[in-house]
């Protein structure tokens, strides 16, 4: 995701100071438009805006507040746009840490897979101060197709992101169950996915994921199964904090957890469909599924 965002920022005329834990990822970017950095602090030096796109709470906190983190060098008045899917509590903590240094923090998680990021089709949710949103506006225009404002409470955008990912996970589970039912009755699940995507479920989530599940395209992962479990867990934690029962969320957590126990954490999160098929007695039906399962184990 971050790589595709960087490409679009370069196309919009920005020069980037880039840092990634896997340094050679930057080799895919135009060398004349970037400065490679060895630490987050180096990437945040002498710039008005820093963007981060990272995997989880712990990585974000270390990247921001660690010894060589963003806040070690971010100037007063500079802005950090955090586009990661993280817990509301961590978002609030980060905003407080930025306030102590005189810098600004904007929560801006996104909806869209890597192909959407490449096509500048991301939907961006923002929460934070009006000044931070205004400063981020041209950057968001360079990477996305629309911005939704959820007020000044900095954690709000992250709550919305968790709500959205919970709904997507629910759709994936329902699609996997429905297509498995069709397959168990001898019906071509690709044809079913095509019909549903053109009629009663004619929206991007159902169209894209139903086709992916029907075709069993679980590699390469657009969004790793392990990250799906992380987001479902965050949604349940946020729900518990506000005494909101989410029984479907508990079912989803267990489905994703079972898939990880089977060694599938590095497959796309739609690979929970393999567990659904196994529950229906369709496991080991064909070499394609078995090869995917083997690939998932060897990626540990």
**pLDDT value, residue 256:** 98
If you average pLDDT over residues 162-181, what whole number do you get? 98
Domains and CATH numbers, the chain: 2-151 (3.40.50.720), 158-298 (1.10.1040.10)
User: Does the pLDDT at position 5 exceed 90?
Assistant: yes
Q: pLDDT digits over 220-238, tens only?
A: 999 999 999 999 999 999 9
Q: Fill in the DSSP letter of residue 224.
A: B
Distance CA 186, CA 1 (A): 38
User: Does the pLDDT at position 40 exceed 70?
Assistant: yes
Q: Which residues are catalytic, by number?
A: 161
User: Does the pLDDT at position 219 exceed 60?
Assistant: yes
User: Does the pLDDT at position 297 exceed 60?
Assistant: no
**pLDDT value, residue 22:** 87
Distance CA 188, CA 184 (A): 10
User: Does the pLDDT at position 293 exceed 50?
Assistant: no
Question: Minimal CA–CA distance to 93: which of 114, 124, 71?
Answer: 71
pTM, two decimals, is: 0.92
pLDDT band at 59, cuts 50/70/90?
very high
On average, the pLDDT of the chain sits at: 94
* 264 close to 296: Cβ distance less than 8 angstroms: yes
User: Does the pLDDT at position 21 exceed 80?
Assistant: yes
Cα–chain-centroid distance for residue 115? 12
């Amino acid at each position: 995701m971050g790589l595709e965002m960087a490409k679009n920022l370069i196309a919009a005329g920005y020069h980037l100071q880039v840092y990634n834990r896997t340094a050679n990822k930057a080799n895919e970017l135009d060398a004349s438009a970037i400065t490679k950095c060895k630490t987050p602090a180096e990437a945040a030096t002498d710039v008005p805006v820093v963007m981060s796109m990272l995997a989880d709470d712990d990585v974000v906190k270390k990247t921001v507040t660690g010894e060589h983190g963003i806040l070690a060098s971010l100037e007063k008045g500079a802005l950090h746009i955090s586009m990661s899917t993280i817990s509301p509590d961590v978002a609030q903590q980060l905003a407080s840490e930025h306030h102590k240094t005189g810098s600004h923090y904007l929560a801006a998680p996104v909806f869209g897979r890597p192909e959407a990021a490449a096509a500048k089709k991301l939907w961006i949710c923002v929460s934070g101060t009006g000044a931070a949103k205004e400063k981020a506006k041209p950057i968001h225009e360079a990477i996305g197709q629309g911005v939704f404002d959820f007020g000044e409470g900095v954690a709000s955008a992250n709550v919305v992101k968790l709500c959205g990912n919970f709904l997507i996970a629910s759709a994936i589970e329902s699609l996997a169950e429905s297509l498995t039912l069709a397959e168990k009755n001898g019906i071509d699940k690709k044809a079913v996915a095509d019909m549903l995507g053109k009629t009663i479920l004619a929206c991007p989530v159902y169209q894209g994921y139903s086709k992916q599940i029907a075709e069993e395209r679980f590699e390469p992962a657009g969004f790793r199964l392990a990250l799906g479990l992380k987001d479902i867990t965050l949604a349940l934690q946020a729900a518990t904090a506000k005494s909101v029962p989410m029984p479907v969320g508990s079912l989803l957590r267990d489905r994703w957890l079972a898939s990880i126990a089977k060694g599938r954490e590095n497959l796309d999160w739609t690979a929970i469909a393999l567990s659904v098929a196994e529950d229906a007695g369709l496991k080991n039906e064909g070499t394609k599924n078995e090869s995917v399962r083997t690939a998932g184990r060897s990626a540990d």
